[in-house]
């Protein structure tokens, strides 16, 4: 991809050449040992001033206020921004070196350059904690100018870069100029750490399962297809890790979990990305009632760890993650929000209801997808506070144990928060004969044209035939959970590098192989 250089980019390249002529390496190799951060200084200097008499700090130059023989500037490291004070007589004590200040600092250093400084911390007359620079070194020359974001004395930003196309495509720039963005991803890490701590503290074992699979099992979704040259076989990027984790339950583990990167070749919108992160865990000798109680405890803990409270702002609402959560059967939810009792209806009856409600359906859709459409279009959005939607029809859940008391249903729940599914859980089906029949029904749907129907996984059936204990399992959409807990409106805002259409057309793989 070639783009004509702007005037500023041309000028920066000229400055790069001038620095080299002066014998200054704009990209030095030696280590610059920092001994403090901007955040540390701002939080602790007033309490312990003696520890900040000899500091080394590195970061990106964000602004400069020139005053002739001195300047105030703002340096940004990985933790915060801090003001620095640069005076010619300090960084160039020898008269012969003073020209370097006038040439290098005032003419050849640009905003966006990364510099290393030595000095001591002081407080200005107006009370701002700052660094008096005694030594300065260029560590990396920036050849592209940063978008200008103005900040007032109170830290309020103006002219923020808000264009999603720019922010998502050039996330590295977004992180530099929009400090709130970095905080979102720090919170995402805290969320995952909170979950991991909860599971580890309760005796769960973290495992890894294959990303490349010969059968895309564990969910109803359209997979990505690739090819393994050495084996000369087609392989799929996993759509779920469920069947592998349940194999481990067969093998004798009592509680396993995995943060799984999954891939589904489907649509993209503010809650869907073709690659996404799911947490799945499976626990032997438990059922979906136990899993509901555990889910409440887990989410209550995450919210408290992140915010210090179970009440979390989400847009103009407040979501309360305190247990217990409301529980509603899927048929009751549909009846409440559509007026139709569909619990005894066959496929033909469901088609009539969908048409009367003006829902878009087609001939490939069986009973499961019709019910899913009814709930998704007419009910899902009503559940703002955490709510378990329970007891799904058997046709919707080919991997779930049949309900212990209600014929035609299975022991499954989905957790709805802010009108979206956050988790999906079952009392897992461990009857190999029943499981084979469910898979065969999925094949019939595939033959009707349903490209999201499940394949038959014969090895998984073989594993079940060795005996799997009663098991509860759940899958959490980590990206959607992070959207909720960090108050972000789009999945792209909690993914560092969301999927986007390429800026240029890449050479096709078959052309490379030729």
CA 116 – CA 134 distance, rounded (Å) = 11
Which range is least confidently modeled, 82-96, 373-387, 422-436? 82-96
**Beta bridge pairs of residue 85:** 72, 132
Domain of residue 76, CATH code: 2.40.50.140
What total number of domains does the chain contain?
2
Specify whether 276 is located in the same domain as 134.
no
Whether 140 and 191 map to the same domain: the answer is no
Q: Per the domain annotation, does 331 fall within a domain?
A: no
CA atoms 86, 90, 91, 96: torsion sign: positive
CB 244 within 8 A of CB 210: yes
pLDDT at residue 513 in the model: 45
pLDDT-based confidence at 157, cuts 50/70/90? low
- Mark whether 226 and 278 lie in a shared domain: yes
Give this prediction's pTM: 0.89
Q: Is residue 313 part of a domain?
A: yes
- The answer on 308 and 194 residing in a single domain is yes
Q: Is 131 found in the same domain as 32?
A: yes
- Residue 279 falls inside a structural domain: yes
Q: Is 455 part of any domain?
A: yes
Residue where one domain finishes, among candidates 114, 146, 178: 146
Q: Are 355 and 370 contacting, i.e. CB atoms less than 8 angstroms apart?
A: no
The answer to whether residues 137 and 207 belong to one domain is: no
Mean pLDDT check: name the lowest of 19-28, 101-110, 131-140.
Answer: 101-110
Residues 315, 403 share a domain: yes
Q: Is there a single domain that holds both residue 103 and residue 237?
A: no
Final residue of a structural domain among 96, 129, 146: 146
Q: What is the CATH number of the domain that holds 475?
A: 3.30.930.10
Could you tell me where the beta strands, DSSP code E, fall in 363-403?
A: 387-390
Q: Within 13 Å, how many C-alpha atoms sit on residue 502's CB side?
A: 6
pLDDT band at 512; cut points 50, 70, 90: very low
Do 86 and 234 lie in one domain? The reply is: no
Q: Which of 14-18, 91-95, 159-163, 315-319 has the lowest mean pLDDT?
A: 159-163
| Structural domain contains residue 265 | yes
Tell me if 275 is assigned to some domain. Answer: yes
Residue at a domain's end among 80, 115, 146:
146
Q: What pLDDT digit, counting tens, does each position of 475-500 carry?
A: 999 999 999 999 999 999 999 999 99
pLDDT of residue 388: 98
Confidence band, pLDDT 50/70/90 cuts, at residue 102: confident
Q: Where does 20-162 show beta strands of DSSP type E?
A: 55-66, 70-76, 81-87, 114-123, 129-140, 150-151, 157-158
Asked whether residue 371 is assigned to any structural domain, the reply reads no
Same domain for 218 and 138: no
Answer whether residue 499 is part of any domain: no
- pLDDT, residue 508, reads 52
216-244 pLDDT, tens digit per residue, is 888 888 999 999 999 999 999 999 999 99
Co-location of 108 and 198 in the same domain: no
Strand positions, DSSP E, 141-266? 150-151, 157-158, 205-206, 212-213, 225-228, 233-237, 255-263
Question: Is 194 found in the same domain as 142?
Answer: no
Which residue range is the domain that position 104 belongs to? 7-146
CB 256 within 8 A of CB 248: yes
pLDDT bucket at 514, cuts 50 / 70 / 90: very low
For 406, phi then psi, to 5°, come to -110, 110
């Amino acid at each position: 991809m070639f783009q004509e250089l702007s005037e500023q980019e041309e000028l920066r390249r000229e400055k790069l050449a001038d620095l080299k002529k002066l014998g200054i390496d704009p990209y030095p190799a030696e280590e610059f040992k920092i001994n403090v951060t901007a955040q540390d200084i701002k939080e602790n200097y007033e309490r312990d001033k003696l520890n900040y008499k000899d500091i080394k700090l590195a970061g990106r130059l964000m602004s400069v206020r020139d005053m002739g023989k001195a300047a105030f500037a703002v340096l940004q490291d990985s933790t915060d921004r801090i003001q620095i004070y640069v005076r010619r007589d300090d960084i160039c004590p020898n008269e012969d070196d003073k020209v370097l200040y006038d040439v290098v600092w005032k003419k050849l250093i640009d905003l966006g350059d990364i510099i290393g400084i030595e000095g001591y911390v002081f407080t200005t007359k107006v009370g701002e904690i700052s660094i008096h620079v005694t030594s300065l070194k260029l560590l990396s020359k920036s050849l592209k100018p940063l978008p200008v974001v103005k900040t007032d004395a109170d830290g309020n930003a103006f002219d923020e870069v808000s264009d999603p196309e720019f922010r998502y495509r050039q996330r590295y720039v977004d992180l530099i100029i929009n400090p709130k963005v970095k905080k979102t991803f720090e919170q995402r890490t805290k969320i995952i750490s909170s979950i991991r701590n909860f599971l580890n503290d309760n005796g769960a074992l973290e495992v890894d399962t294959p990303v490349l699979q010969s059968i895309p099992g564990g969910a109803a979704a359209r997979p990505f297809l690739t090819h393994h040259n050495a084996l000369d076989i087609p392989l799929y990027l996993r759509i779920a890790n469920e069947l592998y984790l349940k194999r481990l339950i067969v093998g004798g583990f009592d509680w396993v979990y995995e943060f799984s990167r999954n891939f589904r070749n489907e649509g993209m919108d503010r809650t869907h990305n073709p690659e996404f992160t799911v947490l799945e865990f499976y626990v032997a000798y438990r059922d979906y009632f136990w899993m509901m109680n555990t889910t409440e405890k887990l989410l209550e803990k995450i919210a408290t760890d992140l915010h210090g409270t179970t009440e979390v702002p989400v847009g103009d609402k407040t979501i309360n993650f305190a247990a217990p959560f409301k529980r509603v059967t899927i048929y009751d939810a549909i009846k409440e929000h559509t007026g139709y009792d569909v619990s005894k209806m066959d496929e033909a009856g469901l088609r009539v209801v969908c048409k009367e409600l003006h829902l878009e359906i087609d001939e490939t859709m069986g009973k499961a997808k019709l019910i899913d459409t009814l709930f998704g279009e007419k009910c899902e959005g009503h559940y703002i506070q955490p709510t378990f939607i329970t007891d799904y029809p058997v046709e919707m859940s080919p991997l779930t144990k049949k309900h212990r008391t209600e014929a035609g249903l299975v022991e499954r729940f989905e957790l709805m928060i802010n009108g979206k599914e956050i988790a999906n859980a079952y009392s897992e089906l461990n009857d190999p004969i029943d499981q084979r029949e469910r898979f065969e029904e999925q094949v019939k749907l595939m033959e009707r044209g349903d490209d999201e129907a499940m394949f038959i996984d014969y090895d998984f059936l073989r594993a079940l035939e060795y005996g799997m204990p009663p098991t509860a399992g759940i899958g959490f959409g980590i990206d959607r959970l992070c959207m909720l807990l960090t108050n972000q409106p789009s999945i792209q805002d909690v993914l560092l590098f969301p999927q986007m259409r390429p800026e240029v057309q890449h050479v096709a793989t078959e052309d490379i192989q030729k």
